[in-house]
Structure 1
């Protein structure tokens, strides 16, 4: 029987530099800063845009993959005093790429380049913990562990 992997112990980190080569070795030499207080990491998906066409005589349309679809990743965090969160907030105020690493125990690091497109302080009741919601717009493929 196979045991599923758990996300406990997973980390999120970012770096203001972009590697010369978009591969694990290129990302591996960057100085990443951990972002503490992460509650939820959205899905890292491999998804493609498709185009439909219907040749003469065909009874159904055929879909063909044409390009990698734009992808967004949502991060939800507890708002704390943390150098990684400061860097993440800085990234939200700049229109430039940052490198990101999501490291999942027993699976390994996932690397990608993204821009931060939004940052919001989540509201709630007086007894709720302050939290942030950050959206990343991926601008590279996700480099997964082998």
Structure 2
């Protein structure tokens, strides 16, 4: 396996829902790239650990419910960026609508999922800093691998 840097990774958003939660279902959507992203964060599911310790015998451990994770991208605020505008629209959406997302790695590999944006606060750190935005995207579906 060949490793790669994260440089060149892109995040895109769509207000549409795929016909199926497959790579081809997501690929049929029109995505708008979100510009000025500095970092994305972790992507992928984790599972709750369910344990039972009988009085006699070894502890039993099972996979519990899945948490598909969340992204907390850090991006330089840009009012003219169409992707950022759609991201802010998703953050302000009070209907709990799912938005579709696509992460594209430098190798061309893609990751698709649906999520809700739980806010997109702006961060004004100081005179010698860039005005940033730090949204939280809670992932609500399995992450689908695509190429």
TM over 0.5: yes
Matched residues in 2 for 1:101 and 1:93: separation? 20
Matched residues in 1 for 2:67 and 2:85: separation? 30
Kept in 1, the 8 Å contact 2:113–2:141? The answer is yes
Cα RMSD (Å)? 1.5
Kept in 1, the 8 Å contact 2:68–2:143? The answer is no
The runs of 4+ residues in structure 1 deviating greater than 3 Å are none
- Partner residue of 1:86? 85
The structural deviation recorded for 1:54 is: 2.1
Determine if the alignment matches structure 1 residue 131 to structure 2 residue 129: no
- Partner residue of 1:26? 25
Determine if the alignment matches structure 1 residue 65 to structure 2 residue 63: yes
In structure 1, list runs of 5 or more residues that go unmatched.
none
TM-score (norm 1): 0.92
In structure 2, list runs of 5 or more residues that go unmatched.
none
Q: How many residues align?
A: 144
The structural deviation recorded for 1:39 is: 0.6
Determine if the alignment matches structure 1 residue 12 to structure 2 residue 11: yes
Kept in 1, the 8 Å contact 2:68–2:142? The answer is no
Higher strand share: 1
